[in-house]
Amino acid sequence: MQKHVESVSLSASFKLNYNLENYFCAKNSRRMKKSMALFAVILCFQQGRAQEILNKIKSETARTIKKEADTSKWNWKSGGLLSLNISQGSLSNWSAGGDNFSLAASAYFNYFFFYKKGRHSWDNNVDVNLGYVQTTSLGSRKNDDRFDYLSKYGYKTDSIGKLYLSGLFNLRSQFFNGLTYSGTTGVLSSSFFSPAYMIFSLGLDYKQSDKFSVFISPLTSRFTFVLNDSLVRKGGYGIPAGKRSVNQIGMFATVNYFNAIAKNITYKGRLDLFSNYGDHPQNVDLFMTNLFSFKINKFFSATYSLDMIYDDDVRLFGENKTSPALQVKSLIGIGFLKPLNVRKRTTGSISGINVL
């Protein structure tokens, strides 16, 4: 009996141990499956994240890098250009002939300052040209003499900031006496503020950028002045003898462009057109300046300038010196060229002057 009881007890103990082992094995198996599943999910996530990072790196390295435009904020912008050219020649016992001595010097100065804030803009530009020639046969003569101030205020009328309702003021004249020559004899034809042209104009200004603008006005008042007493007595430039000024109403347009057209080559140009409503409006007056600058090194450059003027009231040409004609001036030189540093400022001080 006792042996039977012990046998039953051992059998029950074996079954209990077997069931416990199966239970823990099944439980461990379920835990392992969950861990494996969680590990697989984490692995897939990490692989996806790694692939995403890899694709981003590839796209960034393959992307073409572009130089961003200057987006700096400014209210005042100023700059300019200074150019000095000198050429000299001499001959001694030269069988081909020519002047024994010649000297030519020319200077050009440009300064601009722009203002913009909100819908308002104000552009200003000053140009000064001077030229001198000395030869043994012809003596001393000037070959360039001009100062020109252009000021233009605009109020932006569109959302993209390219179209402005504008007012324009322009003053153009010279510093010294000018002579027209017949052989070696010179006759006074111009002088300081004789003539001088002053324009007041209202119109629309299209500004594609700081480098290019087109201004058109259907209503423009142009004044012509002669202050030299000798020229007043003679009359000319559309002004009757004895008078010092005349006013004309007409249409006016001006195009301005300044840009680096190639490496080390810059171009600055301006074209003005004026039609007088009251006298032969089909005869359009033209004023055009072109300046090409070719940089040689830090201090020296070659320059080429081409100016053209046609004014129907300037009747100094032809056989009888009573006809208008296209006036052309072309100068080539090598010399010192110094761009003035472009400065940009927010509202504050400019060149030591406090601006409100």
Q: Output the pLDDT for position 55.
A: 58
Tell me which CATH code domain 76-354 carries.
Answer: 2.40.230
Longest CA–CA separation in the chain, Å: 162
Q: What is the pLDDT of residue 91?
A: 82
Q: What is the DSSP string of 52-114?
A: HHHHHHHHHHHSPP-PPP-----SEEEEEEEEEEEEEEE-SS-TT---SEEEEEEEEEEEEEE
Query: What is the C-alpha separation between 17 and 50, in angstroms, rounded?
Result: 48
Alpha-carbon distance of 247 to 225, in angstroms, equals 9
Q: Helix, strand, coil shares of the chain as percentages rounded to 5?
A: 20, 55, 25
**Beta carbons of 155 and 165 less than 8 angstroms apart:** yes
Q: Report the sign of the C-alpha dihedral through residues 282, 227, 203, 259, in that order.
A: positive
Domain boundary assignment for the chain: 1-66, 76-354
CA distance 33 to 289: 86
Q: Which amino acid is at 281?
A: P
343's CB contacts (< 8 A; 6+ apart) are 76, 77, 78, 79, 350
**pTM, rounded to two decimals:** 0.74
Instruction: Please give the pLDDT value at position 186.
Output: 84
245 class by beta-carbon count within 10 Å (0-12 exposed, 13-18 middle, 19+ buried): middle
Q: Tell me which residue of 126, 78, 104 sits closest to 335, measured CA to CA.
A: 104
- Candidates 325, 330, 290; CA nearest to 309 is 325
3-state SS, residue 23: helix
* pLDDT recorded at residue 69: 46
In this structure, how many other beta carbons lie within 10 angstroms of the beta carbon of residue 160? Answer: 6
pLDDT (0 to 100) of residue 189: 92
Sign of CA dihedral 257, 259, 261, 265: positive
Distances (CA, A) of 100 to 94, 163, 182: 9, 57, 22
pLDDT in tens, the chain (356 residues): 444 444 444 444 444 444 545 544 455 555 555 555 554 544 454 455 545 544 554 454 444 444 444 556 778 999 998 999 988 888 877 766 777 888 899 999 999 999 989 899 999 999 999 999 998 888 888 989 999 999 999 999 988 889 999 999 999 999 999 998 877 778 899 999 999 999 999 999 999 887 899 999 999 999 999 999 999 999 999 999 999 999 999 999 999 999 999 888 999 999 999 999 999 999 999 999 999 999 998 888 899 999 999 999 998 888 887 899 999 999 888 899 888 888 888 865 444 333 33
Chain centroid to CA 125:
12
CA nearest 166: which of 115, 201, 114, 124?
A: 201
pLDDT 10s digits, 182-202: 777 788 999 999 999 999 999
Q: How far apart are CA 341 and CA 323, in angstroms?
A: 44
Return the pLDDT at 102: 86
Report residue 103 as tokens: 């000297």
What the block records as the tokens of 16 is: 């209990």
Give CA separation, 265 vs 128, 248, 334, in Å: 21, 39, 14
